[in-house]
Chain A
Amino acid sequence: MKIDDKIEAYKKKNNEPKPFIGVAILATILVFILSLSASEINIGFFEAFRIIYDHILGIEPTNYHDMIRDRIIVEQNIPRALGAICAGSVLAIGGAVLQNLIRNPLADPYTLGISSGALFGMVVAIVLGVSIIPFLDQMDGRIVNAFLFALIPTAIIVFLSTFKKVSPTMMILIGIAVMYIFNAFNTIIRYTTDDETISQIYQWTIGSVSGLSWGSIPKLTFALIMIYVSMYLIRNEIDIVAQGDHNAITLGINPNRLRIIALVIVSLATAIIVCYTGTIGFVGLVAPHIARRYFGSKCRLLIPGSAAIGALMVLISDYLIRIIAPNLPVGVVLALVCSPIFIVILVRMKKNVW
């Protein structure tokens, strides 16, 4: 084969559409549509469309029956599903990027202590009523707190790697240690506060998308767009660092600087998600691995692929909750439904992907 043909073949292969991403996105849209009518009271599948159609046209519901359904679908189900999509994608992108940058298949916002840090920051804001930056409204105060505490594991890693050589495996171990410290603090706070606050905090520790309203959607969408765009812009650099720090340095990239930038952006996006949904584990770890199985480990496909699969995972789990067991937290169903699927995918893998 001549070189020109090889160049064309490579470009063609690179640009050809990837059916699996399409499948994941289509499935997400399908589950989204299905989930519109899923709630504790019985709403017909087509009735849901009629109600949304009426709502868009501005037709006021004429009876109590329709009014309740209008309220449930428009005020609860739609933002809840949108929130699930944002949370799943953000955590999955965060996991995919951190795994590549730290070169460890166990890295994700949860195992690096970022989620726990954010949760602790928020608990501090709720229980003590303390926001580190004053003059913000309640939710912004919580987000800022969560972000600053989510930066603590990053700061420890950066601090140590300036004075000592910290290997990628050590970064994960530091993250896990920090996660345990924050979890311990969270437990201590729960023991020292009143019952009402405990139940308030409990929602966040188990992770749930059930309480999301339209008010949360702008910031959740912002988190998704921010992490997606910024990580996609540095995708080549991430791929190079994934092949080793020496490789990166001699190709003109400062690997530590790239890790810091990525950790700060992932921390901010995770902090926003945690403030609305609490800590949802598992999806950040597993969604990227499923994506790697189908798209390989290059960020150009891995980032959109992880985002689509992460969104689908959280959305399906939340859908199942709504039709089967309304009070279960989404994290439980995620683990119950997706773990077996993940194990099957791992076992059926033909070649070692990592």
Chain B
Amino acid sequence: MQINLLQKKTALNIGEKEAVELELKDLSFAYKEMNVLKDINLILNEPKLISIIGPNGVGKSTLIHCINKILSPTGGCVLVNGIDNRELSYKNLAKIMGYVPYTTVNTFPISVTDAVLMGRHPHSGRNITDQDLRIVFETLEMLEIDDLAERSLNELSAGQLQKVVLAKGIAQQPRVLLLDEPTSNLDIKHQVNVTKLLKTVSEEKKMMVIMICHDLNIAAKYSDSIIMMHDGEIFAVGSPSEVITPENITSVYGISCKIIDDFGRPHIILGDD
């Protein structure tokens, strides 16, 4: 992790409705000897729901961490509207990019409202306004967890906690929202609801939503496009029906399967061998 005490950062002003373009340019990342990401080139510039799929340990979380500056790439760069994200301060980046992590730290718990209110920090800082509170309570209602508002984070189930973290990301109102397995702890009903909600958010708020997803059928049913990763590289990018094919699944996951057509969306039936 870098410590920049004095370095000046470039300012980045992106208007409400203006499109954000993310460009990954020869992006590589290595932990010690191990190359996790290898020369990734990708341009994302539409407010859509984008799913990243691929087996465990393939570099999906690392890719997201390079985009939001939690990790600094060992090669190449991530450009946000043409500006290297390392030139942007954390604060500037936080105004346009939100993140919903997979795990949450829970050492000293606070209330659900206060946790979601943190999402407003990049915009309001110390001065919390009524507008910030309104956004927080609207988000809680949207995710159907407004009855938990007064509860403390350590009293919640894993699924409820995941929704709180998601609410924080949405309340941040970024232009790009990155999510690391946002539905992993949810039951099937809430998985579907949350994924639908993310799709609605991306359409209504013109937000680019990029999520790591392990449920291929959910990714296929709701995503606008899918990025399939394999061994630190991008194996395929495109619409669900272009990416989710029996051949791709077999090459990347090493399992056989059948794909059936569900109103234009692929649906996977796992094979026997």
Residues of chain B lying within 8 A (CB to CB) of residue A245: 1
Q: Which residue of A lies closest to B154 (CB)?
A: A352
Please provide the chain B residues from 34 to 89 with a CB less than 8 Å away from any CB of chain A in the complex.
68-70, 89
Contact B118 A239 (CB under 8 A): yes
Residues of chain B lying within 8 A (CB to CB) of residue A260: 3, 5
Residues of chain A lying within 8 A (CB to CB) of residue B95: 252
Taking the complex as formed, is A286 at the interface, i.e. its CB lies under 8 A from any CB of chain B?
no
Across the A-B interface, the 4 shortest Cβ-Cβ residue pairs: A252-B94, A297-B108, A252-B91, A244-B105
Given contacts A244-B104, A246-B101, 17 further A-B contacts (CB under 8 A): A7-B134, A10-B113, A161-B3, A236-B125, A239-B110, A244-B105, A245-B1, A247-B101, A252-B93, A252-B95, A252-B121, A257-B5, A296-B111, A297-B108, A352-B154, A353-B109, A354-B108
Contact B130 A7 (CB under 8 A): yes
Contact A252 B122 (CB under 8 A): yes
Contact B70 A354 (CB under 8 A): no
Contact A243 B118 (CB under 8 A): yes
Taking the complex as formed, is A165 at the interface, i.e. its CB lies under 8 A from any CB of chain B?
yes
Taking the complex as formed, is A183 at the interface, i.e. its CB lies under 8 A from any CB of chain B?
no
* Interface of A, helix, strand, loop or mixed by DSSP: helix
Contact A247 B118 (CB under 8 A): yes
Contact B154 A351 (CB under 8 A): yes
Query: Chain B nearest CB: distance from A210 CB in Å?
Result: 35
Taking the complex as formed, is B152 at the interface, i.e. its CB lies under 8 A from any CB of chain A?
yes
Please provide the chain A residues from 207 to 249 with a CB less than 8 Å away from any CB of chain B in the complex.
236, 239-240, 242-247, 249
Please report the total number of B residues contacting A with Cβ < 8 Å: 46
A267 to B113, CA, bound (A): 33
Contact B113 A103 (CB under 8 A): no
Taking the complex as formed, is B155 at the interface, i.e. its CB lies under 8 A from any CB of chain A?
yes
Q: Mark A1-43, 1 if CB is under 8 A from B, else 0.
A: 0010011001100000000000000000000000000000000
Contact of A249 among B70, B133, B146 (CB under 8 A): B70
Q: Which residue of A lies closest to B114 (CB)?
A: A298
A250 to B94, CA, bound (A): 5
Contact A3 B107 (CB under 8 A): no
Contact A242 B107 (CB under 8 A): yes
Q: Which residue of A lies closest to B123 (CB)?
A: A252
Contact B137 A351 (CB under 8 A): no
Interchain Cβ contacts under 8 Å between A and B, 11 examples: A6-B137, A104-B107, A105-B108, A161-B3, A239-B114, A247-B118, A250-B97, A252-B121, A252-B122, A253-B90, A257-B5
Residues of chain A lying within 8 A (CB to CB) of residue B111: 296
Taking the complex as formed, is B138 at the interface, i.e. its CB lies under 8 A from any CB of chain A?
yes
Query: Chain B nearest CB: distance from A21 CB in Å?
Result: 18
Residues of chain B lying within 8 A (CB to CB) of residue A254: 3-4, 90
Q: Which residue of B lies closest to A253 (CB)?
A: B90
